[in-house]
Structure formats: structure tokens, C-alpha cells
Structure 1
Amino acid sequence: MRSCLSGSLRFSGDAESGAVLQVLRERQSGVWLKHIGGQTDPSRLSDRAKRDKELNPEIERVFEEHHSVYGVRKIWHQMRREGFGIARCTVARQMKDTGIEGVVGAKKPKTTIPDKAMPCPLDKLNRQFHALWRR
């Protein structure tokens, strides 16, 4: 029995395994060629990829015009006001791909910070704490 090793897939045995390996190689190269084809010939890009290329500068423009603080929701609303028919998830995906993100609100300030060096205050009422029941 012979064995063929392709990446992390290992086939050993008969002609069926060889046929499966060949199909996998063809699929892998097809995916790679499809990816490269879109980069070399823009007309071969999908409709979504073409629209993304058109919308990406607009999303970046809105982001920059509003001092780079707008998040997905506000950019989406602004673009809808400007007449772009765009989905919120598309804006989110584009922002993620571009690496831009809106400003997140600050944490609420801590008003009381205990001093660990000070001893705990004594119980001024001399309370006696007992369990309500015993085992």
C-alpha cells in the first residue's frame, strides 16, 4: 500500500484515495487562482467585492469627518442620511476589515477607594451574631 501526504491530510491505500487527493489539490489550486484572479483582473471580482471597493472610501470619509469617533451604528445612520443604501452589517464588516473602530465610552469614576493600611472599625453597637439554626 502506498501513502500520499498533502498538508495535514494523509491518504493511504488504493486508487480511490489518489482520486480524492487529486480532487482536493484541484480545488485548493482553484480557490487560490480565484483569489489571485480578483487581484489581477478587477472585472472578475464578485458584485459584493466590487461594491465594497466603492463603499470603503465613503465609510472612511464619514469616519474621518466626524473626528474618528463614530462607531458602526452612527456611521451607518450617517451614510443612510447621505443616500447610501447600505446594511449595518456591511458597515461593520468594512470597518473591521479596514481596522477602524469608534471610541468606547469611559468607565464611571470610582468615588470611594478604601485604604488597606487602616484597620477595620470596631463594632460600636456590640452586636452578637448567631446562626439561626444549629446542626
Structure 2
Amino acid sequence: MRFVDAHRGRFGGVEPICRVLRQHGLQITPSGYWAAKKRPPSVRQRRDAQLTELVRGIHAANYGVYGARKIWHELHRQGHPVARCTVERLMRDCGLTGVVRGKKIRTTMAEPGHERAADLLNRDFTARRPNRTWVADFTHVATWSGVVYVAFVVDVYSRAIVGWSAATNKRTPLVLAALDMGLWRRDRAGQPVCAGLVHHSDAGSQGEFKWSSQHLDQGVWHGKTCRLGNGGDRPPGDAFAGSAGGERTSGDAAAVLAADR
């Protein structure tokens, strides 16, 4: 109805628009349109209209800082029982938002000064068997004592988390510890990672580049697991990928988490 109302003056009325819409598989008739126009609002529509006015009033009375949770509580205090999801929907429909305390946390900060290699996955997040493609990322969790960063590595084949780590900062050891755990756990389970693994992660930059780029070349994982090389990431946002096995070749990017990714 909104579409027809918006274009009926331009295309000569309701019937030409309905005719074209039917040619594209939409069963809309002029009689159905006029019947819908004459139909009175439903109980839910009338209820939503009333609640929307209340939500707008509470939001404006509190300087536009209340979010869905506080408006929901205020509605209950005023004697209007309503579900919180309804308040969220109505606020979303009329473009109302609350103010979030604290500053926004960025977990990925790309460093434009560092060279990035090509993406080895090319957005193909599938694998025919385990230990062929791993993807990694990290996020943050708010706790009473502060922000905790959690890194994880997922095997694309099974979608299983093979390694994880947590820290109160987002420096290199956070993400490398998750990768180390994944390699150690697969080795302990009798499924060591050998040549062919591609490790794909975000292109963030949080410092200690030299240590992270040399970490795998120093023969970690007790010498039982092949080292990663031929690194790469996808500009501008997706990240590091490296195929396992063998030494690094000339001109190769950092072995893992190049530019401290």
C-alpha cells in the first residue's frame, strides 16, 4: 500500500501499478488495494500507536538518553505492561536510541604503513577436511573488573573452536596463544597440523611486530608441528592467511600475524 501510494500519482493511478506488479509475480489487485485502504487499523496497530507515543514521551522527558531497558521499566512503573522486545521494536521503527556509557572499543585497527600480502582464501570459507583452513578473530567482553579480550581459532571444516585465549589487553600474545593452543590440541589428539594449513585472521595492529613475526620461526610447539609461511591477508579488512609447512621464501610476508595482525 505504501508503495502504491507513493507512485500512483506518477504512473496514472492504482491499476497500472497493480498490472505491472502482477507481471512480476505479485498478486496485487486494485480491489484488494482499496479494500485494504478501507480496512480499519488492527488491534495491534492501535496498540503500537499508543505505545509509540508513550515511548516518544518518556524518551524526550529524559533528554533522549534512555534506552529500551529503562523505557521498558518506566512504562511498567506508569502502569503499561508491555514486553521489552515490543519496546525495542517500536524504538527501532521510530529511530530512537539510548546513550551507551563508555567509549567504543575497537578490536581491529589496521596499520596502513605495513605491506599486506594477498588473501589465500578469497572469501571461500569451506574446507574438505580438518586442518586445512583455520580462521581466527578476537572480541571483547565487559566484566565488573574491566574489559576482557577473548581470542579464538576455528577450524572451518567442523566449525569447532580449536584454540582460545583471554587477556586484559589486545597485544600479540593474546592471539598467538589461541593459535598455539589449537596446534597443541590437534597434536595431542593425534591430528598434527602439517603442510597445507591456511590461517586467516583480522588485520589488526597492536604492537610487538617483530616478536610475533618471528614467533613461529623459532620452532615452537615442541618441534612437532610444521611452521607457517607464505602469509597473506585481504585488503582492506580480512586478514592474515598462511600455508603451513616448509621455510619462508624470499619476499614472503611475516610468518603469522604480519604487521602484528
Q: Give TM-score, length-normalised by structure 1.
A: 0.56
Name the structure 2 match of 1:62.
Answer: 58
Q: How far apart in 2 are the matches of 1:134 and 1:50?
A: 65
Structure 1 residues 84 and 29 mapped into 2: Cα distance closer, same or farther (>3 Å)?
A: same
| Length, aligned pairs only | 104
C-alpha change, 1:74 and 1:29, in structure 2 (3 Å) is farther
Q: Say whether 1:33 aligns with 2:34.
A: yes
More helix by percentage: 1
1:49-75 CA distances to partner (integer Å, 9 max, x unpaired)? 111121211100111111111111111
1:40-94 per-position Cα deviation (integer Å, ceiling 9, x unaligned): xxxx111111111212111001111111111111110111111111111221121
What runs of 5+ residues in structure 1 fail to find an aligned partner?
Answer: 10-20, 39-43, 122-128
CA drift of 1:104 comes to: 2.9
The match for 1:107 among 104, 107, 119 is 104
**Of the candidates 23, 28, 33, which is equivalent to residue 7 of structure 1?**
23
Shift of the 71–48 alpha-carbon distance from structure 1 to 2, 3 Å rule, reads same
CA distance in 2, matches of 1:79, 1:25: 39
- The sequence identity of aligned pairs, in percent, is 30
Task: Find runs of 4+ consecutive structure 1 residues off by over 3 angstroms.
Answer: 108-116
Residues 115, 94 of structure 1: CA spacing in aligned structure 2 closer, same or farther, 3 A cutoff? Answer: closer
Distance of aligned partners of 1:8 and 1:59 in 2 relative to their CA distance in 1, 3 Å threshold: same
Higher RCO (CA-CA < 8 Å; seq separation 6+): 2
Equivalent position of 1:48 in the other structure: 44
Matching of residues 77-88 of structure 1 within 5 Å: 77-88=73-84
Higher-Rg structure is 1
* TM-score (structure 2 length as normaliser): 0.32
CA 29–95 in structure 1, closer or farther in 2 if over 3 Å, else same: farther
CA separation of 1:29 and 1:58: change in aligned 2, threshold 3 A:
same
- Report SS of the residue matched to 1:103: coil
| Residues 96 and 134 (structure 1), Cα distance of their counterparts in 2 relative to 1, 3 Å cut | closer
Residue segments in structure 2 that go unaligned for 5+ positions in a row? 1-19, 108-168, 172-204, 212-217, 227-261
Query: Residue 92 in 1 paired to residue 108 in 2?
Result: no
- Report the alpha carbon displacement of residue 107 of structure 1 after superposing the two structures with TM: 2.1
Distance 1:63 1:80 in 2: 15
Instruction: Name the one with the larger strand percent.
Output: 2
- The alpha-carbon deviation at position 115 of structure 1 amounts to 7.8
